[in-house]
Structure 1
């Protein structure tokens, strides 16, 4: 199983009156990482980008995605700093027309690149939708092949997992 680690730069405006990243802004950070990891870029980056970036996100795209649900567990406050946060992503469920994207928001050890100090864990369920009909559409074989190596156990969110027992 592989995971994707995306660095996302914080903005000064992400911080709230309590001197930590606001809960709404935390969801924006997750969205930025998700788009980087799963949406095809019009001009691929020099490194080629992620092999998971197979959804067309440009104007006139034939597929849109809808957020069906999101759940986030805040582990500790994330204060503003100039260094980016590391957002680790993987697929917790690969369905017929939907995927669960799982996340951990962490610092990254500069020497090893490994995640340290978890700030939040989250899950987003995305439904793939045909842009013409507005109906959910099946995940294509190419999308499934690109995402399957990143399929792993769903993120463990304390309250949800405790409730499911």
Structure 2
């Protein structure tokens, strides 16, 4: 599988068979904690990296001086510890699309043993005007990217 793939609008939301985007990431030695597995805070870093990789592949402008995404909420369900060394796949799915926000579901799995689920959950991204702090409509590029 390539490191990036895109689904279609006909795909059921949150379907593990057709992610919106897949990022491949390696576990770093520095990600480990005293229990010799990935510290829970690093899961959020992996999810952030996957979102940024996805956004960098969205054709068209998805931010400007009046519309930038911020994370409004996150839910991470830790299913099993990640040991080093490991290669991960972070799968992103569009769970919900609103007027000013979108909910991206995620799954972190082992790249070699894809039936090994490390975590799942979702994040809510809101597009805001940084000068006013107010929500703004989702950019058309984002809407097209999830169709």
Give the TM-score normalised by structure 1.
Answer: 0.71
Q: For residue 82 of structure 2, what is the aligned residue in structure 1?
A: 78
Q: How does 1:1-165 map to 2 (within 5 A)?
A: 1=11, 2-3=18-19, 4-38=21-55, 40=56, 50-51=57-58, 55-56=62-63, 61-81=65-85, 83-109=86-112, 115-148=114-147
1:16 and 1:52 map into 2 onto residues whose CA distance is 38
1:97 and 1:121 map into 2 onto residues whose CA distance is 23
2:110 and 2:35 map into 1 onto residues whose CA distance is 20
Give the RMSD, CA atoms, in angstroms: 2.0
1:52 and 1:8 map into 2 onto residues whose CA distance is 22
1:54 and 1:12 map into 2 onto residues whose CA distance is 35
Q: Which runs of 5+ in 2 are unaligned?
A: 1-10, 12-17
Give the TM-score normalised by structure 2.
Answer: 0.79
3-state SS of the aligned residue for 1:68? strand
Richer in helix (by share): 1
1:71 and 1:90 map into 2 onto residues whose CA distance is 14
Mean alpha-carbon deviation: is it higher for 125-134 or for 88-97? 125-134
Q: Which runs of 5+ in 1 are unaligned?
A: 41-49, 149-165
